[in-house]
Amino acid sequence: MKKQHSWIILLMSAVFCVHLSACDVFTGSEHLDAGTEALSVYDYDAALSSFIMAEQNGEDERLANRGIGIARMGQFKYEEALDAFEKALSLSGILLDRVDFDINYYMAAAYHLSGQKEKAIEVYDAILALRENDSDAYYLRGAILIEEGRTPEGLTDFDQALALYAGESDRLIDIYQILSAAGLRSVGDDYLRSALENDEGDLSNFEKGRISFYLGDYENARMYLERGRDLSYEAVLYLGRTYEVLNDLNYAESVYKTYLEAGNESPEIYNQLGICRMKMSDYDGALNAFHAGMAITPNNIIQTLRFNEIVAYEFLGDFKRAQVLMDGYMQEYPSDKAAERENYFLRSR
């Protein structure tokens, strides 16, 4: 089954979650508004068309090129994205505004994703030279430094990011996952243990449960998450995953089903329900869950759901159907290495 999150997805999530808020500057421009709406539902082809129309129709050229760059990133066309961001920045005024910083964040992400990591670091350096208390820049630069094996520098950036971050435990968990993916799980564990040991009552039951989950302390994770399960889909997701690890698959399934049957819609919960059912060898039930998840819009895990759908058909022995779906998937997500391996397996059948 395909992992839903990798550290690179975490980086992109940080950029998109924080900086798409700047899209409110589009309000009142027909094609810019349409492009922004398409981005919100991850329809990058429609977004690109709208932003090109915005530029052609005399709407704000800087914002149109910013949008073109974001859409190109969504299409994995990073060099074209960088060209659009460069053009957008060339249209800026003498005084930098929040849109300029926003564009620089996207540019750094495009450099990173295209393998130009030193250039990405240089962009974050420039941001921090002007905004020395920018938690996001420290976090994102730290992640690249960790990837490059510059661990002490990366950890210094992570420490600064955590000291400045006003959010809950999300950034802490993201840092843990990045360190774990880089083979530094023990260092990540130290961050998590420190958060629990130094908690002065600020952490919620959900946060303590999630931290305990990643530390492998599943009994405490279960206890805390049961107390916080009504707060969000994330609490339900982690509670169910905890019961899966504890090998109580029937109860895990009931946790997901109870949440969904209460009228809540969550592609993430449907995806995890499908994964749980696959562990129970209920592949038809898994497909029903994946299909229900795919029917929800907007949907930021549609790629994961589509991949898991293919795997479910493989387990059912329907390799012809799986191959048809895989062909479409590979056209849409050509850079997915895990899918390439799965595609080789299917063709070998």
Alpha-carbon distance of 110 to 42, in angstroms, equals 17
CB proximity list for 298: less than 8 A, separation 6 or greater = 40, 41, 42
Class of domain 1-114: mainly alpha
* C-alpha to C-alpha distance for 4 and 233, rounded to whole angstroms: 16
pLDDT in the model for residue 250: 97
Selection from 299, 296, 279, 294 nearest residue 325 by Cα: 294
Please state the separation of Cα 78 from the chain's center in Å: 17
Burial of 262 (0-12, 13-18, 19+ CB in 10 A): exposed
What superfamily in CATH does domain 116-202 come from? Tetratricopeptide repeat domain (1.25.40.10)
**297 is written with which tokens?**
């819009």
SS3 (DSSP) at 216: coil
Dihedral of alpha carbons 171, 211, 177, 251, sign: negative
For 159-198, the DSSP string reads HHHHHH--S-SHHHHHHHHHHHHTT-HHHHHHHHHHHHHT
Residue 141: per-residue pLDDT: 97
* pLDDT at residue 15, rounded to an integer: 54
Residue 73 in contact with residue 39, Cβ under 8 Å? no
Q: Where are the domains of the chain?
A: 1-114, 116-202
Tens of pLDDT, residue by residue, the chain (349 residues): 443 334 444 445 555 544 544 445 555 689 999 999 999 888 899 999 999 999 999 999 999 999 999 999 988 899 999 999 999 999 988 888 889 999 999 999 999 999 999 999 999 999 999 999 999 999 999 999 999 999 999 999 999 999 998 777 899 999 999 999 999 999 999 999 999 998 888 899 999 999 999 999 999 999 999 998 777 889 999 999 999 999 999 999 999 999 999 999 999 999 999 999 999 999 999 999 999 999 998 888 999 999 999 999 999 999 999 999 999 998 888 877 676 676 666 665 5
pLDDT at 10: 47
Q: How far apart are CA 277 and CA 159, in angstroms?
A: 39
- How many whole angstroms separate alpha carbon 209 and alpha carbon 237? 11
CA dist 7 and 143 (Å) reads 8
Token pair 């620089």 is at which residue?
104
In this predicted structure, what is the pLDDT of residue 184?
Answer: 97
d(CA 147, CA 110): 16
- Establish whether domains 1-114 and 116-202 are of one fold: yes
Q: What is the pTM of this model?
A: 0.82
Query: Which two structure tokens, joined as six digits, stand for 77?
Result: 């066309």
The answer for residues whose C-beta is within 8 angstroms of residue 254's C-beta and 6 or more apart is: none
Planar angle of CA 300, 79, 140, nearest 5 degrees = 55
pLDDT for res 19: 52
Identify the CA nearest to 54 among candidates 78, 80, 70, 36. Answer: 36
